[in-house]
Amino acid sequence: MSASTIATTRHDWALGEVKALFQQPFNDLLFQAQSVHRAHFDPNRVQVSTLLSIKTGACPEDCKYCPQSGHYNTGLEKQKLMEVQKVLEEAARAKAIGSTRFCMGAAWKHPSAKDMPYVLEMVKGVKALGLETCMTLGKLDRDQTAALAQAGLDYYNHNLDTSPDFYTSIITTRTYSERLQTLAYVRDAGMKICSGGILGMGESLDDRAGLLIQLANLPEHPESVPINMLVKVAGTPLANEEDVDPFDFIRMLAVARILMPKSHVRLSAGREQMNEQMQALAFMAGANSIFYGEKLLTTANPQADKDMQLFARLGIKPEAREEHADEVHQAAIEQALVEQRSSELFYDAASA
C-alpha cells in the first residue's frame, strides 16, 4: 500500500470496496490498518475517557439492546437526574485516575426544558476541572445544541447503532434520519461528534459495512467512533443473540480505522468480555480510545488498575491533554492508582 493511499481521507466509500476490506486475509487487514494508524497517530498512545450515567432507566425508546428502555423488564432500578455536585465529584475522581474526557449519559429520548439548565451546569463544572466534556442525551433540537455548545461541551455522542437497512429491526421509536439530523445540528454548532455502533445484534456483514459507510461518508468524519460489542442483558429482546466472533470484531475495528484514518476509534462496550490478547489485537487494529473505570452506564467495564497493568505490559501510555506534560500526567495516574486501588472509584448510578 502506497503512502498516498495511507494518507487519503475519503467520503465516497461504496459497499463493494468496504466489504472487500472485511474479506481480506486477517493479517493483511491488520497490517493495512496499523499502517494507516501510524500515519496519523502515535501507535502507543490511547485516549482515556470515563462514562457516568447521570440519569438511569425508564427511557421511552425501544432499542432492543438497551437495559435502560422502559419497554423491557431488566431489573434495572430507575434513577432521576443526578445532582450537579455529585456529577462534579465523580468527574474529579475520574481525572484523578487519569481520564482526560468525562462523558455523561442520560436515558432520555430527548432532554426536557426543565432538565437543560442542570445539564448545562454539569458541562460548565466539568470543563472547569480541566477535563474534556462529552454528553449523550438523545435527540437534540437546534436550540438545545447551541446551548450545549455555548456551555462549552466538546463532544456529543449519538450513535447510529447499525446500518439504515437493519435499523428498524432494532429501534422503532426514532428514525435513522432523526439521528443524522442531530449529528448535523452538533456539527453546525461547532462541537465534535462521537458516533459509532454495536456488533452482535444479528446484523449481516453488509450491515456492518453499511454502518461504517454512513459514518465515513459524513461531510466530516466523527472525531470519535465507538465500536461496541453487544452486552447481552436478560429481559431485553437481544439477550440470547449469538456471541460475536472475536476476529470479526477486530476486523470491524480495522476497517473503521482505514475508512476514518484521523478519528479516534474507541474500544467501547463489551470490553469486560475480552481477554488481554483480544484487547491487544484491538490496539494493533487501530483502536486508540477506551472507556476507563468500573461502569459503562449500567454494564461492567474492566477496572482502572487492570487497564493500567495491561497498558504497562504493552508499552502503551494514556494520551495526555496538551496542557500537561506527559511525564507529569503519567506520574499522577500511577500515584492515584496506588492510593485508590482498593477504594470505591465510581458512583454506581444503577443502584443509587
Q: Binding site annotation covers 194? A: yes
Nearest to 254 by CA among 9, 21, 20, 4: 21
Catalytic residue status for 271: no
194 in active site: yes
Phi, psi of 98 (to 5 degrees): 110, 0
Distance CA 222, CA 351 (A): 33
Contact yes or no for 163/151 (Cβ under 8 A): no
Residues 108 and 130: beta-carbon distance below 8 Å: no
Q: Which value, in Å, is the radius of gyration of the alpha carbons in the chain?
A: 19
Query: 69: which strand partners?
Result: 59
In whole angstroms, what is the distance from residue 198 CA to residue 178 CA?
18
Q: Is 321 annotated as a binding residue?
A: no
Q: Is 179 one of the catalytic residues?
A: no
User: Three cell numbers at 24?
Assistant: 481480506
* Catalytic-labelled residue, pool 10, 38, 45, 63: 63
The single residue of 93, 134, 208, 257 carrying the catalytic annotation is 134
Q: Is-catalytic flag, 341?
A: no
Whether 271 has a binding-site annotation, put simply, is no
φ/ψ (deg, to 5) at 241: -65, 155
Q: Answer yes or no: is 208 a known binding residue.
A: no
313 is in an annotated binding site: no
Single out the catalytic residue among 101, 194, 208, 257: 194
In terms of Cβ atoms closer than 10 Å to its own Cβ (0-12, 13-18, 19+), residue 27 is exposed
Q: What angle do CA 268, 99, 228 make, to 5 degrees?
A: 5
Catalytic pick among 103, 208, 251, 271 = 103
66 part of the active site: yes
Q: CA-CA distance, 149 to 143, in Å (whole number)?
A: 10
Please identify which residue in the block is written with the cell numbers 495491561.
Answer: 310
Catalytic residue among 93, 101, 179, 266: 266
| DSSP letter for each residue of 136-192 | E-S---HHHHHHHHHHT--EEE---BS-HHHHTTT-SSS-HHHHHHHHHHHHHTT-E
Q: HSE of 101 in the Cβ direction (CA atoms, 13 Å)?
A: 24
Known binding residues are 59, 63, 66, 103, 134, 194, 266
Report the binding-site residues for [2Fe-2S] cluster.
103, 134, 194, 266
Known binding residues for [4Fe-4S] cluster:
59, 63, 66
Q: Which residues are catalytic?
A: 59, 63, 66, 103, 134, 194, 266
